[in-house]
């Protein structure tokens, strides 16, 4: 079996398994004041410190959540509600058109149910939101902008956004800037303080951490309205009993990912370049999508003219090769990728694409197997499509 879907989730690191397992047997609620509670609280706060150190934040700015989706919901809904409460004229949410649905859908929900105006920022053919585009959107009515949300790196095509420049534009107008950095941690140099962003999302299972763990890094001075209400944990931003084992596992995953970034990136780039070169030899008309100069090292998003991506996925799966047609959260839905459509790609191109994503445990043997299977799979997929069109 070959796994080429690390952008969806990747293997849990052995060190993380060991840390979580060691802590699972410990008794104590981190909110309790007795000795057992203080012991659990110590684990949580040490984990918070490790994550803050790894991403260039202060411990006070790290808010633990259940993952990327919850973090994005808190950032987008919470910042909107807080800013709108201060000034009812602030009704606009400016969000990148190629965001993960974990960010797009909360923004659209706010428009449908909370009176917000959700404006999707257009991207160029590479999938980038240019700073001038953001500036023009804000200047149409600066006083009405509640927040801006643009992801650090795209989960489908791998394009890296000019986050620092975008955050600087938003700062000129006093608008908080949120970025979904789920795909960026451990492969890009992510420094929260230096980036100028006000809120940043990260997720554990993309880094070799446990599924169901994540964090929202929130700058001092920002106070999103809570989405959950209860015990007032995590600066009253995210109520709920914290899991000491899971926070410890998340911290270990983040720390190891950041410490090993340079070696990891070199490994991914070498494999990705070989993958694309060898697939191109087998399928000469394959198209590589995204920003070929500024993209994640482990994502190769390919379009195969005359094929359906879903058919290719299933043909490869039958031969023991796992990949995806885009975000795992949209898997099984036969519709063009909103990411590719936003870049100007034709619907048939968007429907003919596969995302092949590499990870820490990927090998050259994985590439050998893919190259062995991709040619016959493309031939069968094209034959099937041609037959249906007759």
Burial status of residue 371 (CB atoms within 10 A of its CB: 0-12, 13-18, 19 or more): middle
Q: What gap in Å lies between CA 357 and CA 302, rounded to an integer?
A: 11
* 18 sits in which H/E element: helix 14-24
The tokens for 131 are: 């700073």
Q: Which residues lie below 8 Å from residue 202, measured CB to CB, with a gap of 6+?
A: 51, 55, 68, 71, 181, 182, 185, 214, 215, 217, 254
Q: Which residues lie below 8 Å from residue 254, measured CB to CB, with a gap of 6+?
A: 50, 51, 54, 55, 185, 186, 202, 204, 207, 209
Which residues, in sequence order, are bridge partners of residue 117?
A: 92
Say whether 329 is catalytic. Answer: yes
Q: What gap in Å lies between CA 235 and CA 232, rounded to an integer?
A: 7
Q: What gap in Å lies between CA 36 and CA 167, rounded to an integer?
A: 42
Q: Which residues lie below 8 Å from residue 235, measured CB to CB, with a gap of 6+?
A: 60, 63, 218, 223
Q: Where are the beta strands (DSSP E) in 304-344?
A: 321-322
Q: What gap in Å lies between CA 104 and CA 106, rounded to an integer?
A: 6
Under 8 Å between Cβ of 373 and 321 = yes
List 118, 307, 323, 329, catalytic entry: 329
Phi, psi of 238, deg, nearest 5: -145, 95
Residue of 131, 137, 93, 97 whose CA lies nearest to 342: 97
Q: What gap in Å lies between CA 257 and CA 154, rounded to an integer?
A: 18
Give catalytic residue positions: 329
């Amino acid at each position: 079996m070959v796994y080429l879907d690390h952008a969806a989730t990747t293997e849990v690191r052995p060190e993380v398994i060991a840390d979580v397992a060691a802590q699972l047997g410990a008794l104590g609620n981190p909110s309790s004041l007795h000795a057992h509670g203080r012991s659990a609280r110590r684990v949580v706060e040490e984990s918070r410190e490790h994550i803050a150190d790894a991403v260039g934040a202060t411990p006070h700015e790290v808010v633990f959540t259940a993952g990327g989706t919850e973090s994005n919901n808190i950032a987008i809904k919470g910042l909107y509600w807080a800013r709108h409460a201060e000034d009812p004229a602030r009704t606009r949410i400016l969000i990148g058109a190629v965001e993960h649905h974990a960010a797009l859908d909360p923004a659209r929900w706010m428009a449908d149910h909370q009176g917000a105006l959700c404006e999707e920022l257009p991207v160029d053919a590479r999938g980038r939101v240019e700073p001038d585009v953001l500036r023009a959107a804000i200047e149409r009515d600066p006083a009405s902008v509640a927040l801006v949300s643009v992801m650090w790196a795209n989960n489908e095509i791998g394009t890296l956004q000019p986050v620092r420049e975008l955050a600087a534009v938003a700062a000129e107008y006093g608008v908080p800037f949120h970025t979904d950095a789920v795909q960026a941690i451990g492969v890009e140099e992510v420094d929260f303080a230096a980036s100028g962003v006000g809120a940043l999302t990260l997720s554990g299972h993309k880094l070799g951490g446990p599924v169901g763990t994540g964090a929202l890094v929130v700058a001092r001075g920002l106070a999103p309205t809570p989405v959950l209400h209860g015990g007032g944990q995590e600066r009253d931003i995210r109520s709920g009993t914290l899991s000491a084992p899971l926070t410890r596992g998340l911290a270990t995953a983040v720390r190891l990912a950041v410490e090993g970034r340079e070696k990891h990136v070199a490994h991914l780039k070498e494999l990705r370049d070989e993958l694309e070169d060898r697939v191109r030899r087998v399928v000469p008309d394959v198209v590589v999508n995204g920003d070929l100069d500024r993209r994640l090292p482990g994502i190769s998003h390919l379009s195969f003219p005359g094929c359906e991506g879903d058919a290719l996925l299933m043909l490869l799966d039958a031969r023991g090769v796992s990949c995806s047609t885009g975000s795992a959260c949209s898997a099984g839905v036969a519709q063009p990728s909103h990411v590719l459509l936003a870049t100007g790609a034709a619907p048939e191109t968007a429907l003919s694409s596969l995302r092949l994503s590499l990870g820490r445990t990927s090998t050259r043997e994985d590439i050998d197997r893919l190259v062995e299977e991709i040619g016959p799979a493309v031939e069968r997929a094209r034959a099937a499509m041609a037959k249906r069109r007759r």
